[in-house]
């Protein structure tokens, strides 16, 4: 699929969402003033209720989150840890917070939108019998329970209550889950009761689990390019696939659009700006819908890269 700045990426033919299409918005986000590049974007991207975008970077001395306005203009840097490998912005008891897994420190933090930490779950709060932790992502259920996955470890999913008290653990490399590099997990509010989406990257599959960890079913497998992150808007789910694709799925687990597809599978942070092709992804690692259903994707790239596609209405 050839993509240029003017090309509209159409939904798959024959789909019930045949009218669903997206248009690439070139260079939507620029580096902060005084910087040539965004910085190592081995992390995530999220949107708050005001439409601001938060991009995690690993090598910015000022802080680990770059904040941009709805128009893509740089706003500020939040002084949070520099390895927010996975984070979400969610409301808890009526207020928005950043919920984040700090990979290099193997701890969880909950922050105000200005970066002030209001809750920490330290490494010592996790069960000691589950091996070395390598925490990669988290999300929060409607009741305030916090779900954290060690996707670079044994892929256990740990559950804590709103106050940070440990409740239970499930998943991991054992039956019936047999997880392998379950890179990120998210609470899927499209369903009632809500459920978990597990992006089991090492097994190249996406699963639905209930909040107790029971497997509900497989969303997709085999045809994927190693799913790494997801976001939801209405009945849709967009997925960052690290081997070179952004995909969009409906509530019936049908693929309805694919964006930025690279001709060859990719998975490297070393593709430099001079080799980027307009609208073609390299290593999709984080992804978010904005409040209007547009898609922004951030890549595992040592220079930092964010791509945007606007939904055509």
Report the CATH number at residue 198: 2.120.10.30
Range with lowest mean pLDDT among 16-30, 80-94, 128-142, 265-279: 16-30
Residue 103 lies in a domain: yes
Confidence (pLDDT) at 176: 98
Separation in Å, CA 195 to CA 1, 166, 188, 190, 251: 34, 19, 5, 8, 12
- Give the phi and the psi of residue 104 in degrees, each rounded to 5: -70, -20
pLDDT surpassing 80 at residue 9: no
pLDDT surpassing 70 at residue 99: yes
Contact residues for 286 (Cβ-Cβ < 8 A; gap 6+): 41, 43, 44, 45, 56, 86, 228, 229, 240, 297, 298
Kindly indicate the confidence band of residue 7, based on its pLDDT and cuts at 50, 70 and 90: very low
Cα(75)–Cα(284) distance, rounded to whole angstroms?
24
Task: Return the half-sphere exposure (C-beta side, CA atoms, 13 A cut-off) of residue 155.
Answer: 21
Residue 252 lies in a domain: yes
| 56 contacts 87 by C-beta, under 8 angstroms | yes
Residue 48 lies in a domain: no
Q: How many residues does the chain have?
A: 313
Residue 32 tokens, joined: 């902060």
Residue 34 lies in a domain: no
Confidence (pLDDT) at 297: 98
Q: Is the pTM of this model over 0.85?
A: yes
Q: Report the share of the chain in percent with pLDDT over 90.
A: 90
pLDDT surpassing 50 at residue 5: no
Mean pLDDT score, 180-195: 98
Residue 16 lies in a domain: no
194: three-class secondary structure by DSSP: coil
Confidence (pLDDT) at 13: 42
Domain count, the chain: 1
Confidence (pLDDT) at 18: 54
pLDDT surpassing 80 at residue 265: yes
Residue 137 lies in a domain: yes
Residue 10 lies in a domain: no
Domain residues for the domain of 293 are 53-311
Q: 294: alpha, beta or left, given left = phi > 0 and alpha = psi -120 to 50? A: beta
Residue 5 lies in a domain: no
């Amino acid at each position: 699929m050839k993509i240029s700045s003017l090309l509209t990426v159409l939904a798959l033919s024959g789909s019930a969402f045949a009218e669903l299409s997206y248009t690439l918005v070139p260079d939507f986000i620029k580096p902060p003033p005084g910087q040539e590049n965004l910085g190592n974007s081995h992390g995530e991207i999220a949107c708050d209720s005001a439409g601001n975008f938060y991009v995690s970077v690993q090598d910015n001395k000022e802080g680990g989150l770059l904040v941009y306005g709805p128009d893509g203009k740089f706003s500020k840097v939040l002084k949070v840890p520099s390895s927010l490998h996975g984070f979400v912005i969610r409301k808890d008891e009526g207020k928005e917070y950043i919920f984040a897994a700090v990979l290099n420190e193997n701890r969880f933090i909950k922050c105000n939108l200005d970066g002030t930490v209001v809750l920490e779950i330290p490494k010592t709060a996790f069960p000691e019998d589950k091996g070395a932790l390598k925490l990669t992502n988290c999300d929060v259920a409607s009741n305030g329970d916090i779900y954290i996955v060690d996707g670079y470890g044994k892929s256990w999913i740990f559950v804590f209550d709103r106050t940070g008290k440990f409740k239970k653990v499930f998943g991991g490399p054992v039956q019936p889950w047999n997880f392998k590099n379950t890179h990120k997990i998210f609470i899927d509010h499209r369903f009632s009761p809500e459920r978990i989406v597990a992006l089991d990257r090492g097994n190249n599959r996406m699963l639905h689990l209930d909040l107790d960890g029971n497997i509900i079913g497989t969303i997709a497998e085999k045809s994927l390019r190693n799913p790494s992150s997801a976001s939801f808007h209405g009945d849709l789910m967009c997925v960052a696939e690290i081997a070179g694709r952004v995909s969009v799925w409906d509530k019936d687990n049908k693929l309805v659009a694919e964006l930025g597809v690279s001709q060859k599978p990719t998975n490297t942070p070393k593709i430099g700006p001079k080799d980027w092709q307009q609208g073609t992804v390299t290593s999709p690692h984080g992804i978010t819908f904005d409040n209007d259903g547009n898609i922004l994707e951030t890549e595992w790239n040592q220079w930092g890269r964010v791509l945007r596609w606007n939904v055509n209405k």
